[in-house]
Structure 1
């Protein structure tokens, strides 16, 4: 079979899988199982597509986990390449069930997911700041587009968890608020050491936005997402204090 024929066939298989998931169909045919095995075995692109589909459904859209979700997840963990296994481990070995879903404002994070998949970290960072402002409701109160430390407690924890988790998934645990918190704790909560370690300062001076920051995956651990340290450390401190994961 030609490569183009394989691509068309895989597209049909993925469409069938998606429809079965959306319909929450418990009657899963052997044909679907065999097709899942085939595309996972033969194509890294389809492995990526299936893993991103699960992340979108379960983490972003908060869909109930179906029998087929579990089957796909297990098969991906068993047969996919290492970086996809790591992504799935980060995504689904978490404390999501400890958070209250009723507090979510139901923001659609698929655009953030796509930017992170593309490693367009600068736009993902800008969108993250926009989301946090929306979640704290400050846009409705005034035209301010940055956070005060008093705004942090207004952000629903589930949404904050989702944003953080997406950053961790698509950076292989290198970026994210909880990653920054770990670096801060590892440096004995010393702000000067912490800011130097994550690459936000140079010789004790805050770097200039955006050109002095690194928008690539090889940035220091915890480098992204950014917060405006020109207003001090209070916002980040209260964010670390607020996160329980």
Structure 2
């Protein structure tokens, strides 16, 4: 006699096995989709996410690891918090600062998808890298940009890219800028900073989540001209 009460268990196990296999070998697009699905499978899904992230520990974080960490970080379940505190206390992205800055707060804000607060902190970090005068005025002169450390700019960009599924970051903005032939009038509408003749107003008209146009964040004040932004997108960090 077949015990029908036990039949669902192998099916669920098989599904999780399929998830595990595709998570490790699928395309990046499919992997990101699978991560979102796993977040709705309860503890079994969380356990698979933790196992996957632990396997990737010590390797350079990609978009998939960033999203896995993000989902675990945003979940209140105790096992996830304990796991991250034990194995990834500073985040899944390993970054270093040539000037001794701690990028853990920025990483935490991006992991929370608090992109507005992360944007403000990014500008604060850039001013700290530029020096006390920039810190006091709270914005950069274009002449200060070339002095920003290559490693720090790359670190800030990596954090933004990894925790935005590749939508935000300086290199994303640079790619768009080069793609329109460095034409600012074509760039602004593509990244959502201008619509028609109207500049997007800060902060309420900007989009602070992943529904924003590609390259929408981080922000730089175009009202002071484009020289700072141009210098950032032309920095030796991207050579």
Shared fold per TM-score greater than 0.5: yes
> Shorter-chain TM-score: what band?
0.5 to 0.7
Q: Does 1:43 align with 2:36?
A: no
Q: Using a 3 Å threshold, how does the CA distance of structure 1 residues 86 and 214 change in structure 2: closer, same or farther?
A: closer
Equivalent residue, structure 2, for 1:170: 163
Q: Using a 3 Å threshold, how does the CA distance of structure 1 residues 85 and 150 change in structure 2: closer, same or farther?
A: closer
Q: Using a 3 Å threshold, how does the CA distance of structure 1 residues 48 and 112 change in structure 2: closer, same or farther?
A: farther
Q: Where in structure 1 are there 5+ consecutive unaligned residues?
A: 1-38, 55-68
Q: Using a 3 Å threshold, how does the CA distance of structure 1 residues 113 and 49 change in structure 2: closer, same or farther?
A: farther
- 2:135 & 2:107 partners in 1: Cα distance? 28
How far did residue 241 of structure 1 move?
Answer: 1.0
Out of 179, 200, 204, the position equivalent to 1:186 is 179
How far did residue 43 of structure 1 move?
Answer: 1.3
Contact 1:192 1:204 in 2 (8 A): no
Equivalent residue, structure 2, for 1:83: 64
Q: Does 1:221 align with 2:225?
A: no
Q: Using a 3 Å threshold, how does the CA distance of structure 1 residues 112 and 205 change in structure 2: closer, same or farther?
A: same
Contact 1:87 1:170 in 2 (8 A): no
Q: Using a 3 Å threshold, how does the CA distance of structure 1 residues 112 and 142 change in structure 2: closer, same or farther?
A: closer
Q: Where in structure 2 are there 5+ consecutive unaligned residues?
A: 1-42, 70-91
How far did residue 209 of structure 1 move?
Answer: 0.8
Out of 150, 153, 163, the position equivalent to 2:146 is 153
- 2:51 & 2:191 partners in 1: Cα distance? 32
Scaled by the length of structure 2, the TM-score of the pair is 0.63
- 1:234 & 1:85 partners in 2: Cα distance? 32
How far did residue 49 of structure 1 move?
Answer: 5.9
Equivalent residue, structure 1, for 2:6: none
Q: Secondary structure at the match of 1:236?
A: helix
- 2:134 & 2:180 partners in 1: Cα distance? 37
Q: Secondary structure at the match of 2:234?
A: helix
Structure 1's consecutive aligned runs of 4 or more residues displaced over 3 angstroms after TM superposition are: 39-42, 47-51, 82-88
Out of 122, 135, 149, the position equivalent to 1:128 is 122
**Deviations along 1:36-75, whole A, 9 cap, x unmatched?**
xxx9997145257648x94xxxxxxxxxxxxxx35xx7xx
Scaled by the length of structure 1, the TM-score of the pair is 0.62
Q: Does 1:244 align with 2:238?
A: yes
Q: How many residues align?
A: 173
